[in-house]
Amino acid sequence: MTAPRPLIAGNWKMNGLAASLDEARAVAAAIDERPPGARVAICPPATLISRLAEAIGGTGVEIGGQDCRAEQAGAFTGDVAAEMLADAGATLVILGHSERRAGYGETDALVAAKAGAAHRAGLEPIVCVGETLAEREAGRTLEIVTGQVRGSLPEILAGKAFSVAYEPVWAIGTGLTPTLEQIEEVHVAIRAVLVEMFAEHGKGVAILYGGSVKPSNASEILKLKDVGGALVGGASLKAADFLGIIEAA
C-alpha cells in the first residue's frame, strides 16, 4: 500500500486576530507557487475559520477547528458543534489535545464521542494522544499512549479518513523534544494498535508527531518510521517558520 501524503497541520491555539490572516495568505501563496509533497492545514481559533475560508479557500491549504462538542446543537453555551465548524469552512478538526484533556478533564470516551461527531459532520479528525513527563519517567509511556489510542478512536472511523497525533505533553511549547528513537518507538507502537483496531486501513492512517517541531528539527523527525506528518503549534504562527517545516516534509 502506498503511504498517504504526510499532513503538516498548524495549531494556532488561542492566537490570531484578523491581521493574522496575512500569515495564512503567505503560506497559501508560497504553496501555490511551489506545491509541497505534504498536505497542509491551518487550524485557527473558531472565530477565524470563516474568514480564513474566504481568504484562502480553494488554495492548497486545508482549514481545521481545534475542538468541537459531541452534540449537534442545543443548550451548550460557548461550545461549537462539528457541524458549525464544517459550515464555517473547516474540513478537519483537532480533538483531544492535551491542553483540553488537562484543562477541561476530557476523557478518552469524550474524545471518542467528539471524533464520532466529526465524522457525522464530514470532518476529518486529528486525534491527539501523549504522555506527561511523570508518566514517561515512570516508564508508562507506551501503556498510556496506546490506551489513549484505543479509547479515543470510535469504531465508526473504520475505513474513514482520520489521523492520530502523538504529542508528548512535556514537549509541547517547551522547546524540548524526545530523542528520535523515543519518537519512533511510540509511533511504531501506535501503528500496531491502529492495525489491531482497523486492520489494513490502520496501516495507512497518518500518525503525526507534535511538540516543539520547528524548521531545524522537522526533517529528521519526519523521516522516522511511521511518522506521517506534524502537528505544529508555536512555529505555525509565522508563515516563514511554518513553510520551513512544510518544505522539510
Per CB under 6 A, residues contacting ligand PGA are 11, 167, 172-173, 210-213, 231-235
Active site residue 167: yes
Contact between residue 162 and residue 205 where contact means Cβ atoms under 8 Å apart: yes
Q: Compute CA distances 74 → 55, 70, 79, 122, whole Å.
A: 30, 11, 10, 19
Rounded to 5 degrees, φ, ψ at 179 are: -70, 165
Supply the minimum distance, in Å, between the C-beta of residue 93 and ligand PGA: 13
Whose Cβ is closer to ligand PGA: residue 16's or residue 210's? Answer: 210
Catalytic residue among 62, 97, 106, 119, which?
Answer: 97
Q: Rg (Cα) of the chain, in Å, rounded? A: 17
Whose Cβ is closer to ligand PGA: residue 130's or residue 202's? Answer: 130
Question: Is residue 126 helix, strand or coil?
Answer: strand
Supply the minimum distance, in Å, between the C-beta of residue 100 and ligand PGA: 10
Whose Cβ is closer to ligand PGA: residue 42's or residue 198's? Answer: 42
Catalytic residue among 62, 83, 131, 167, which?
Answer: 167
Contact between residue 193 and residue 149 where contact means Cβ atoms under 8 Å apart: yes
Return the active site residues: 97, 167
